[in-house]
């Protein structure tokens, strides 16, 4: 029987599953990394562990120190768990627009939660800038800086990409996911292309983000809006610099919710909207690559983190999103 040497060793090495509905819809083989299987139930656990261990290796944090981060929630949850296992405290700055479940989880994990109004990155009150200032003012503290700390994408170059390559037996035609910090798509893209430069790396961008136009037309320009949490970017972060993105798709919330609902109803997977957007992008990429192609994407986190939003009839109606049949009477 194989056992993990420490609780932190439980991060990564997540299962890869073939998705039946998306595969049939695209005429290809679509696989997904089940990142909800991480201890913090999201892909962000990988970046959290890498960032903290990098800070330790560089002597930026000492015993009893504090890790400060601005996050939409999942990275904060990952950091809180890693910090608890290593004896650190966490201060998490999060936009007040994020789901109640994320806020409750962070408090339950012992993190100090600072909620701030949503603001554009150009505004000094943006949650990232506020987290940096708190880190500067707190003794023995380190700012995780997930957007521009390339320890984030290293976790995916050395971890996620290598796992995918092994699990796919080196037979992979394409990979796609959305970008928040850019660490996952850049890291997995760089890692896979190191094995085979022919692997197509595609961005699945939600409406309201600027990267689709950047990679398609060379201009950071956003159009529309999205309610998806944790994805969508308006600038080229350090993690995105040099990302080997070959093509791009723009995915609406409605298309993402279509797959969230189908995967729950048909395959027993309860997922968040970012996962639905990734799966919609994987279907689009598979159709582009042709019948029989093998495409991988990321199931970012669990839908149990969005019970008050994506799985709430009134919230969906208020956002103008389709209401699944099983929620109609709720």
pLDDT, tens digit, for every residue of 242-282? 999 999 999 999 999 999 999 999 999 999 999 999 999 99
pLDDT attached to residue 330: 62
Residues of the chain with pLDDT under 50: none
pLDDT for 72 equals 83
Q: List the one residue out of 252, 284, 277 whose CA is nearest residue 174.
A: 284
Q: What is the pLDDT of residue 328?
A: 83
**SS3 (DSSP) at 319:** coil
Find the helix or strand (DSSP H, E) in which 295 lies: strand 294-299
- CA R_g for the chain: 19
How far is residue 244's CA from residue 192's CA, in Å, rounded to a whole number? 10
Closest by CA position to 246, among listed 204, 298, 279, 195: 204
pTM: 0.96
Q: For the chain, give the mean pLDDT.
A: 96
C-alpha to C-alpha distance for 197 and 115, rounded to whole angstroms: 43
Q: What is the dihedral of CA 268, 299, 283, 296, to 10 degrees?
A: -120
Q: Which of 68, 62, 289 is nearest to 171 (CA)?
A: 289
Question: Longest C-alpha distance within the chain, in Å?
Answer: 57
Active site residue 86: no
pLDDT computed for residue 2 by the predictor: 81
Do 92 and 69 meet the contact criterion of CB atoms below 8 Å apart? yes
Annotated catalytic residue within 20, 33, 44, 102: 44
Q: How many residues appear in the chain? A: 330
48: Cβ–Cβ under 8 A, 6 or more apart, which residues?
Answer: 40, 75, 78, 79, 81, 82, 144
Q: What is the pLDDT of residue 1?
A: 55
Report pLDDT for 309.
95
pLDDT of residue 237: 97
């Amino acid at each position: 029987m194989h056992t993990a040497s420490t609780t932190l060793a439980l991060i990564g090495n997540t299962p890869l599953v073939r998705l039946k509905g998306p595969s049939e819809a695209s005429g290809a083989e679509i696989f997904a990394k089940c990142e909800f299987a991480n201890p913090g139930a999201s892909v962000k656990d990988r970046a959290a562990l890498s960032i903290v261990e990098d800070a330790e290796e560089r002597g930026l944090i000492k015993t009893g120190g504090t890790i400060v981060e601005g996050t939409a929630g999942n990275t904060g949850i990952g950091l809180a768990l890693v910090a608890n296992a290593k004896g650190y405290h966490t201060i998490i700055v999060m936009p007040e627009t994020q789901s109640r479940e994320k806020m409750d989880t962070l408090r339950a994990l012992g993190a100090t939660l600072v909620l701030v109004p949503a603001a554009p990155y150009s505004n000094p009150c943006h949650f990232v800038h506020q987290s940096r200032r708190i880190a500067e003012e707190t003794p023995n503290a380190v700012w995780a800086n997930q957007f521009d700390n390339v320890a984030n994408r290293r976790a995916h170059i050395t971890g996620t990409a290598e796992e995918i390559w092994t699990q796919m037996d080196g037979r992979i035609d394409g990979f796609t996911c959305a970008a928040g910090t850019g660490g996952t798509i850049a890291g997995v893209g760089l890692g896979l292309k190191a094995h085979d430069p022919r692997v197509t790396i595609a961005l699945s961008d939600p409406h309201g983000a600027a990267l689709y136009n950047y990679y398609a037309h060379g201009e950071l320009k956003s159009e529309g809006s999205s309610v998806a949490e944790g994805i969508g970017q308006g600038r080229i972060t350090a993690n995105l610099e040099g990302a080997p993105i070959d093509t791009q798709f723009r995915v609406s919330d409605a298309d993402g919710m279509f797959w969230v609902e189908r995967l729950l109803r048909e395959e027993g997977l309860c997922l968040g909207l970012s996962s639905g957007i990734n799966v919609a992008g994987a279907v689009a990429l598979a159709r582009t690559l042709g019948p029989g192609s093998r495409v991988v994407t990321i199931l970012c986190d669990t839908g149990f983190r969005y019970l008050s939003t994506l799985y709430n009839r009134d919230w969906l109606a208020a956002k103008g999103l389709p209401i699944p049949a099983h929620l109609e009477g709720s």
